Chain A
């Protein structure tokens, strides 16, 4: 559908002002306040615990979470360029803003890299035979650390991660720069831009899945050097889709209190996004349960301890809650058409999903450590998981708000703009 618009004026029907509304500054200051408060709480907990051990573990969780929002946002940005659709136009600028938070994620990751020796068993143990003799590690761990040394060593960890960051940075820069160039161009060139962004995004999605898999294997899976799962990268990929869509819906609906989202967010696309999120809820439990069923059926001594670490010693409570939080609650809620079409309720469900994702990461990360495996117990330290990631995500949200303010919230040079401005059920 071609429509005649001059490049410098907005298409008819769009509000004159397309920048982020002023209340985004309010979000930013609120996020900063929450961030500071939770930083203080985290410091207090660390003092009560006489240790920063859990601060680091919780920091890793916060890093993986903000990584999911940032690089997951980039991935969904590429997906919508390839798939098209009005929902993509709606979320395009929020997703771009999410992808441009990558520098903050890199800063978060630097802390992980510098405290590698305190987080990762394979980085702690230089002398495997000695550590085995002293009882610091068991035979399985000694074998795994020895065997995987070419991959699991500090140099490889840093090089792989930096290369991944460079690749994500390249795609972020490229897509964001072209997005603005496209708006500056005349409407007649739209087909060229659609093709061009598609051609970058298509291979980009493949590159993203490979680099993201490498990153989560290094950052999370290698916390337990003995265990491996071939579906691990995919699990995180789906998890990122899950949380990015949830966050995108929260942002879109919250922005709709003011222009321009008040005009462009229609119930139809909100409903579509809800359905899309529902698909990720299903895919997520499908993969998580599939991995569990295969390992449970095999019942092999190489694989099953990973699950036993996460089920025995009261961890059964956490995995049950994880199932309820992560799947059953979003699933039953999103099943309802009314909830998907109700702004307030859909936002509540999406907020819950972001929390559930963090809860799932807690279950993935904490039992990797010797003191916590098969032994869920209270310490002041474990409460860091409720403090550090909240602070980190709050700072991330504040940064995201500044990114959101840097460009108009609607891409004007797109055929979907005319469609999204039509009243709903236009044929009616």
Chain B
């Protein structure tokens, strides 16, 4: 794949999360879809403002957990009943109460791993390069005290001049053009 060139988008910088939310809500209402918010800490309303939709991580976690449960319980059953039956205190070989704890541990282990790796798989991490890091104010501000709204060039409404004017309406600290 040849490297992408040109404009990635326009990045507006705000001082408070409130300003960011207002701008993001308005932009979504005005029909913008290819956009994203960047904040130094989680701001749940920002996700709502840009039309956050559900993802599949909870489902992956559930399936992973159930797989862990089934795998360990079946493994224990197979060992105790088929592969290596032992008489332990005169109990039946299929003594399910004793299987519960390892099965429970594996449920948690698999659910946790599925959540972590599922999240990575679905959100595209680890990502070594992102165009936004070309913006110097983003590098400094996004992890400390500034709030960013990026309208991306892929959106059909995007126009370098018009969009810049549009973003200025929200009275941001700055609007910068970001290159790929």
Interface residues of A (CB under 8 A from B): 289, 292-293, 296-297, 299, 425, 427-428
* Bound Cα distance from A296 to B18, whole angstroms: 58
How many whole Å from A221's CB to the nearest CB in chain B? 22
Q: Give the chain B neighbours of A299 by CB distance below 8 A.
A: 89, 91
Contacting residues of chain B (85-109) with chain A, CB-CB under 8 angstroms: 89, 91, 97-98, 100-101
Contacting residues of chain B (1-21) with chain A, CB-CB under 8 angstroms: 16-18, 21
**DSSP class of B's interface residues: helix, strand, loop or mixed?**
helix
Check B162 for interface membership: any CB of A closer than 8 A. Answer: no
* Bound Cα distance from A299 to B88, whole angstroms: 12
How many whole Å from B129's CB to the nearest CB in chain A? 30
How many whole Å from A248's CB to the nearest CB in chain B? 25
Check B69 for interface membership: any CB of A closer than 8 A. Answer: no
Q: Give the chain B neighbours of A297 by CB distance below 8 A.
A: 97-98
Check B175 for interface membership: any CB of A closer than 8 A. Answer: no
| Nearest 5 pairs of A and B residues by beta carbon | A428-B45, A428-B17, A425-B45, A428-B21, A427-B17
**Which of B43, B89, B100 is the one whose CB lies under 8 Å from A427?**
B43
Q: Give the chain B neighbours of A425 by CB distance below 8 A.
A: 43-45
Please name 5 further chain A to chain B contacts, defined as beta carbons within 8 Å, in addition to the given A293-B101, A297-B97, A428-B17, sorted by A numbering. A292-B97, A427-B17, A428-B21, A428-B44, A428-B45
CB pairs A–B below 8 angstroms (6 shown) = A292-B97, A296-B97, A297-B97, A299-B89, A427-B43, A428-B46
Q: Give the chain A neighbours of B101 by CB distance below 8 A.
A: 293
Q: Which of A289, A292, A299, A427 has the most CB of B within 10 A?
A: A427
Contacting residues of chain B (30-55) with chain A, CB-CB under 8 angstroms: 43-46
User: Chain A: which residue is nearest B89 at the CB level?
Assistant: A299
Q: Give the chain B neighbours of A292 by CB distance below 8 A.
A: 97
Q: Give the chain B neighbours of A293 by CB distance below 8 A.
A: 97-98, 100-101
Q: Give the chain A neighbours of B18 by CB distance below 8 A.
A: 427-428
Q: Give the chain A neighbours of B97 by CB distance below 8 A.
A: 292-293, 296-297
Interface size class of B (residues with CB under 8 A): 10 to 19
* Bound Cα distance from A70 to B118, whole angstroms: 45
Q: Give the chain A neighbours of B46 by CB distance below 8 A.
A: 428
User: Chain A: which residue is nearest B91 at the CB level?
Assistant: A299
* Bound Cα distance from A427 to B40, whole angstroms: 12
User: Chain A: which residue is nearest B101 at the CB level?
Assistant: A293
User: Chain B: which residue is nearest A427 at the CB level?
Assistant: B17
* Bound Cα distance from A297 to B97, whole angstroms: 9
Q: Is the CB of B43 within 8 A of A428?
A: yes
User: Chain A: which residue is nearest B21 at the CB level?
Assistant: A428
* Bound Cα distance from A338 to B27, whole angstroms: 27
Q: Give the chain A neighbours of B21 by CB distance below 8 A.
A: 428
Q: Give the chain A neighbours of B100 by CB distance below 8 A.
A: 289, 293
* Bound Cα distance from A428 to B97, whole angstroms: 49
* Bound Cα distance from A297 to B89, whole angstroms: 9
How many whole Å from A316's CB to the nearest CB in chain B? 14
User: Chain A: which residue is nearest B44 at the CB level?
Assistant: A425
* Bound Cα distance from A425 to B47, whole angstroms: 12
How many whole Å from A232's CB to the nearest CB in chain B? 19
* Bound Cα distance from A427 to B14, whole angstroms: 13
* Bound Cα distance from A107 to B16, whole angstroms: 58
How many whole Å from B101's CB to the nearest CB in chain A? 7
Q: Give the chain B neighbours of A427 by CB distance below 8 A.
A: 16-18, 43
* Bound Cα distance from A293 to B104, whole angstroms: 14
How many whole Å from B151's CB to the nearest CB in chain A? 19
* Bound Cα distance from A296 to B101, whole angstroms: 14
User: Chain B: which residue is nearest A296 at the CB level?
Assistant: B97
* Bound Cα distance from A139 to B51, whole angstroms: 72
Q: Give the chain B neighbours of A296 by CB distance below 8 A.
A: 97
Q: Which of A292, A293, A428 has the most CB of B within 10 A?
A: A428
User: Chain A: which residue is nearest B95 at the CB level?
Assistant: A296
How many whole Å from B96's CB to the nearest CB in chain A? 10
User: Chain B: which residue is nearest A428 at the CB level?
Assistant: B45
User: Chain B: which residue is nearest A336 at the CB level?
Assistant: B58
* Bound Cα distance from A428 to B41, whole angstroms: 11
Q: Give the chain A neighbours of B44 by CB distance below 8 A.
A: 425, 428
* Bound Cα distance from A98 to B21, whole angstroms: 42
Q: Give the chain A neighbours of B89 by CB distance below 8 A.
A: 299
* Bound Cα distance from A297 to B17, whole angstroms: 57
User: Chain A: which residue is nearest B58 at the CB level?
Assistant: A337
Q: Give the chain A neighbours of B16 by CB distance below 8 A.
A: 427
User: Chain A: which residue is nearest B45 at the CB level?
Assistant: A428
* Bound Cα distance from A255 to B101, whole angstroms: 41
* Bound Cα distance from A296 to B91, whole angstroms: 10
Contacting residues of chain B (145-171) with chain A, CB-CB under 8 angstroms: none
Q: Give the chain A neighbours of B43 by CB distance below 8 A.
A: 425, 427-428
* Bound Cα distance from A297 to B101, whole angstroms: 13
How many whole Å from A75's CB to the nearest CB in chain B? 28
User: Chain B: which residue is nearest A290 at the CB level?
Assistant: B101
* Bound Cα distance from A299 to B90, whole angstroms: 10
How many whole Å from B36's CB to the nearest CB in chain A? 16
Q: Which of B45, B98, B101 has the most CB of A within 10 A?
A: B45
* Bound Cα distance from A297 to B98, whole angstroms: 8
